Amino acid sequence: MNSKLSTKINAVEMSFWRRCCGLTLGDHVRNDIVREIMETEVTLTDTTEAKQLKWYGHMKRMEEDRLPKKIYEWTPIERKKRGRPRNTWKKKAKQAMDGRNLQEEDYLDRNRWRLGCGIWPQRL
């Protein structure tokens, strides 16, 4: 998910919360106050990022012969295109891990990984 899409998703989410509160943009109520009224802390983009990290940890723990892991580790043979390289899913996962203080090898410990993703409670 790029920043443009993330901005659009956040705008739609806040529009939803405002309509649930009975507020309009003309009321000039800040987003953080709307979130306090609705008692929400986690945004849709945070949830999406956490689920992507959850999938990343699941995929890294897979056996080597599984198709999703093969596709993730596959690199095309073709030449690189001109211009700035596009953001890849791998780069976005690394950025999300950096933002949540997760290390590359943390996926081996499932409880640590779940807590690092930030939404799911620890299982015992």
Whole-number Å distance between alpha carbons of 53 and 61: 12
pLDDT digits (tens, 9 = 90+) for 5-31: 999 999 999 999 999 999 999 999 999
> Tokens for 39?
């008692």
Residue type at 38 in one-letter notation: M
**What pLDDT is attached to residue 77?**
85
Predicted TM-score of the model (pTM) = 0.78
pLDDT under 70 in the chain at which residues? 119-124
**What pLDDT is attached to residue 2?**
81
